[in-house]
Amino acid sequence: MAIKITVASIAQMVAPSLDEMALIAEEAFRSLPDEFHALCGDLVIRIEDFPDEDVLDELGCDSDYDLLGLFTGTGLPHRTPSVSGLMPNMVFLYRRPIIDYWAEHEETLGAVVTHVLVHEIGHHFGLSDDDMARIEMAADAGEPGTMQ
């Protein structure tokens, strides 16, 4: 009898592999509104175990586990059509820090991955951490005009 592994079953396992985490991220991305997909265009999503030392140093992180995800590239509002040869915008999701966070919180792994992915895509859209914090606080408070 073959065992069928689904994204939902992977999210219940302990410490999914890089490939399994990529499946969870793909599922999270597919669940986002079509408007997100249209605006993401050539955005590349990569799963790595940890950020590299240069990234940790540049961001002033004290631990390999301080960073769950990272956007690199030029946000949509800052792109100009006259500039060619740019590398594609990328979102990195860091498997081990995400798993650590998941183990310490009540959220499902899929919910954590989705949250980190949406946060990093927000940077692709040109939003700062402060912008996203305000949006999340407004949504949590149920303010009119926010997504719930």
The enclosing domain of 31 has a CATH number of: 3.30.2010.20
Domain range holding 51? 16-77+87-141
The verdict on residue 6 lying in a domain is no
At 132 the pLDDT is 77
Is 50 exceeded by the pLDDT of residue 84?
A: yes
> What pLDDT score was predicted for residue 147?
40
pLDDT tens sequence across 18-64: 999 999 999 988 888 887 778 788 889 999 999 999 999 999 999 99
Mean pLDDT of the chain: 81
Q: Is residue 10 in a domain?
A: no
In a domain, 2, yes or no: no
How many domains are contained in the chain?
1
Taking the whole predicted model, whether its pTM rises above 0.95 is answered as no
- Per-residue pLDDT, 3: 53
pLDDT for 146 equals: 40
Which of 48, 4, 59 minimizes the C-alpha distance to 25? Answer: 48
Tell me what pLDDT residue 145 has: 41
Mean pLDDT is lowest, of 20-24, 96-100, 128-132, for 128-132
Q: Would 63 be classed as within a structural domain?
A: yes
pLDDT at 140: 63
